[in-house]
Amino acid sequence: MLGFQSAGVRQAFVVTKENINRQFEEVMQRKDIGILVMNNDDFQMLNERLKERALVQVKPTVVILSHDISAEENMRLMIRRSLGIDLWEKKG
């Protein structure tokens, strides 16, 4: 947890296969969370309705991390959608 806090993460949630859907719904309703980062394995455990919600809801924006080459681009688009700016954009 200390490593996450050093990176600016204020809160972390531990989930299991049994509680991930309930925990995800609770987090998605909170007004104090702007970006929810989760790994692809956890995302795959969500039911289909919650997966769809994760992909379309703007706040909190859900960033899904995976080893896939497209993961960085996916994260870039979701953060841009949430913040309204492109953090990777190169300035002249």
Under DSSP, is residue 26 helix (H, G, I), strand (E, B) or coil? helix
Whether 51 is in a domain gets the answer yes
> Beta 61-65 vs 35-39: how paired, if at all?
parallel
The single residue listed with the structure tokens 């809160």 is 11
Whether 71 is in a domain gets the answer yes
More confident residue, 13 or 47: 47
pLDDT band at residue 70 using 50, 70 and 90 as cut-offs: low
Whether 11 is in a domain gets the answer no
Whether 2 is in a domain gets the answer no
The CATH number linked to 22 is 3.40.50.10580
More confident residue, 84 or 14: 14
Each residue's pLDDT tens digit, 29-52:
999 988 888 888 899 999 999 999
Q: Model's pTM, two decimal places?
A: 0.66
Whether 92 is in a domain gets the answer no
Whether 72 is in a domain gets the answer yes
Q: How many domains does the chain have?
A: 1
Under DSSP, is residue 57 helix (H, G, I), strand (E, B) or coil? coil
Whether 3 is in a domain gets the answer no
Domain that holds residue 34: 16-83
d(CA 48, CA 75): 20
